[in-house]
């Protein structure tokens, strides 16, 4: 029990330290104060994240069950705020400006939705303490929770943040799969979602269409939408077996690679540390996620179990989509790499999620 706490803490610390190193390497040559101390800010966020991690690790996660509607409500509130401000300012916006930092509600909304879903599917029958989800029909098993997911999803996609929105959908589908909801309902839901996809094409913004087309063939627009993917692939590939060495990555340090400290930090890292470093990083991510699955597997409490699965899945999907997008295997959707990419909200929400995970393992013996 202690070991899962330590393992997750150590892994998360190593990964986020590598993140700071990569952020430093990709920004230290830029001029101007916001760039010069950006790695210090990230370290500060990691520090705050660690505090949150310890707090969440010691706060009984069952409290989340109680305040679950509140969390969901607050998340929706912030998303609406971003949405409203976006309409007022006539411009897309994903974050709220606070005193000295930008707050990105979608990062927390993902967590809130997972907590909500975990609670929804782990309600028990008052009569025989069996899980209600097994008896759910199509409405209560699929449609109702989908509505609860669809509201924040819609708000996030409208920001526009297609990546995070789809992430919610993916986590929702995989959580459905883990509960006792019948398979045919899930397939029906998927079918319903897939069916109007061609129709949705027209609702996508121009740049989103561009990105999808470019994903299929980056060379149709090598200096425009395809530029990032091409440069990112060059960055990763040019690392070779051992990499170019820290602070010697030409792609990221000479600014050929855009967003080299946020969404494309994996390319930055991979250029400098090569195949060996990158596969070790992948291994560490895998170990954290595996730890999550182990915790979920040995938790008796169905809320805790679903929550642990949800958090692990969220982490796994974000890591996968981000790295795949770095390698040009997935379309560019604007998703940060958890723990590594620069960004307070992402770091904070990831540490909170990991804290919850650890706490689930700590308190499972209570029952």
Partner 1 sequence: MERKHILRFLIILMFVALLAGLLNLDLLQGAKFRRLSDSNCIRLIAQSGARGNILDRHGQVIVDNKISYDVLILPQELNQLDRILSGVSRILGVETKELKDAFRSNYISSSIPVTVAGNIDLKKAVLLGEYKMEEPSIIIQPRPLRNYPYGALASHVIGYVNEIDRWRLTKLEDYGYKTKDIVGFGGVEEKYDYYLRQEEGGLSVEVNHRGKFMRVLGFEPPVNGKDVQLTLDLNIQKIAEDSLAARKGSIVLMDPQSGQVLALANYPNFNPAVFVSKRTRLISGLFNNPDAPLINRATSSSYPPASVFKLVVASAALELKKINLSTSFLCRGWTMIGARKFSCWDVHGAQDIVAAIAHSCDVFFYKTGLLTGAQNIHDYALKLGLGRSPGFELPYETAGFIPSPLWRKINKFQNWFDGDTANLSIGQGDCLVSPLQAAGMMAVFANGGYLPSPYIIKAVGGLDLSAKKRKLSRVDFKKSTFEIICRGLRAVVADARGTGNVLAGLGVKVAGKTGTAQVSRGSTHAWFVGFFPFDNPKYVICVLLENGGPGHAACVVARQVIEAMNKRNLI
Residues that bind partner 1 (CB under 8 A): 174, 177-178, 231, 233-241, 250-251, 254-256, 270-271, 274-275, 278-279, 282, 285-286, 289, 293, 296-297, 309, 312-313, 316, 320, 323-324, 327, 329
Q: Quickly count: other Cβ atoms within 10 Å of residue 182's Cβ.
A: 16
Q: Which residues pair with 339 in a beta bridge?
A: none
Tokens encoding 196: 């109007």
Give the end-to-end CA distance of the chain in Å, rounded to a whole number.
15
Residue 361 contacts by C-beta under 8 Å, 6 or more apart in sequence? Answer: 1, 4, 5, 295, 298, 299
User: In the structure encoding, which two tokens stand for residue 206, read together?
Assistant: 């121009």
Q: Which of 137/222 has CB closer to partner 1?
A: 222
Q: How far is the CB of 310 from partner 1 (least distance, A)?
A: 11
Residue whose CB is less far from partner 1, 151 or 282: 282
* Length reported for the chain: 367
For partner 1, the closer of residues 20 and 308 by Cβ is 308
CA distance 162 to 52: 28
Contact 78, 105 (CB under 8 A): yes
Between 138 and 234, CB nearer to partner 1: 234
Q: How far is the CB of 329 from partner 1 (least distance, A)?
A: 5
Instruction: Indicate the SS3 state at residue 129.
Output: coil
Nearer to partner 1 (CB atom), residue 80 or residue 178: 178
Nearer to partner 1, 79 or 117 (CB): 117
Q: Nearest distance from residue 135's CB to partner 1, in Å? A: 17
- Closest distance to partner 1 from the beta carbon of 99 (Å): 33
Helices 302-326 and 105-121, axial angle in degrees (round to 10): 140
Taking the complex as a whole, how short is the minimal distance between the CB of residue 292 and partner 1, in angstroms? 10
Beta carbon of residue 94, minimum distance to partner 1 (angstroms, whole number)? 25
- Could you give the CA distance from residue 225 to residue 118 in angstroms, rounded to a whole number? 38
Task: Please give the Cα distance from 323 to 128 (Å, whole number).
Answer: 45
């Amino acid at each position: 029990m202690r070991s899962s706490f330590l393992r997750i803490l150590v892994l998360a610390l190593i990964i986020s330290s590598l993140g700071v190193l990569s952020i430093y390497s990709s920004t230290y040559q830029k001029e101007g104060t916001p760039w010069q101390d950006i790695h210090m800010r990230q370290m500060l966020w990691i520090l705050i994240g660690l505090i949150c991690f310890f707090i969440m690790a010691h706060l009984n996660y069952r409290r989340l069950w109680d305040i679950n509607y509140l969390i969901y409500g607050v998340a929706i509130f912030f998303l609406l705020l971003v949405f409203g401000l976006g309409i007022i300012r006539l411009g897309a916006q994903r974050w709220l400006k606070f005193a000295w930092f930008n707050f990105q509600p979608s990062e927390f909304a993902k967590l809130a939705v997972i907590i909500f879903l975990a609670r929804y599917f782990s309600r028990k029958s008052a009569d025989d303490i069996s899980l209600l989800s097994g008896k759910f029909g199509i409405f209560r098993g699929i449609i109702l929770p989908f509505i609860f997911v669809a509201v924040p999803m819609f708000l996030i996609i409208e920001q526009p943040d297609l990546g995070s929105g789809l992430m919610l959908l993916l986590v929702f589908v995989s959580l459905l799969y883990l509960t006792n909801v019948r398979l045919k309902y899930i397939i029906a839901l998927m079918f319903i979602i897939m069916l109007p996809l061609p129709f949705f094409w027209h609702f996508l913004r121009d740049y989103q269409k561009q990105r999808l087309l470019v994903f299929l063939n980056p060379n149709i627009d090598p200096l425009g939408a395809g530029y990032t993917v091409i440069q990112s692939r060059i960055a990763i590939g040019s690392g070779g077996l051992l990499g170019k060495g820290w602070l010697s990555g030409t792609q990221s340090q000479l600014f050929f690679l855009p967003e080299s400290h946020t969404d494309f930090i994996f390319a930055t890292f991979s250029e400098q540390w090569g195949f060996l470093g990158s596969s070790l990083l992948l291994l560490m991510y895998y170990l954290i996620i595996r730890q999550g699955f182990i915790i979920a597997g040995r938790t008796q409490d169905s809320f805790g179990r679903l929550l642990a699965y949800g958090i692990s899945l969220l982490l796994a999907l974000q890591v996968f989509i981000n790295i795949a997008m770095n390698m040009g295997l997935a379309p560019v959707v604007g998703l940060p790499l958890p723990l590594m990419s620069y960004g307070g909200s992402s770091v904070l929400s990831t540490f909170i999620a990991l804290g919850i995970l650890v706490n689930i393992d700590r308190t499972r013996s209570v029952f």
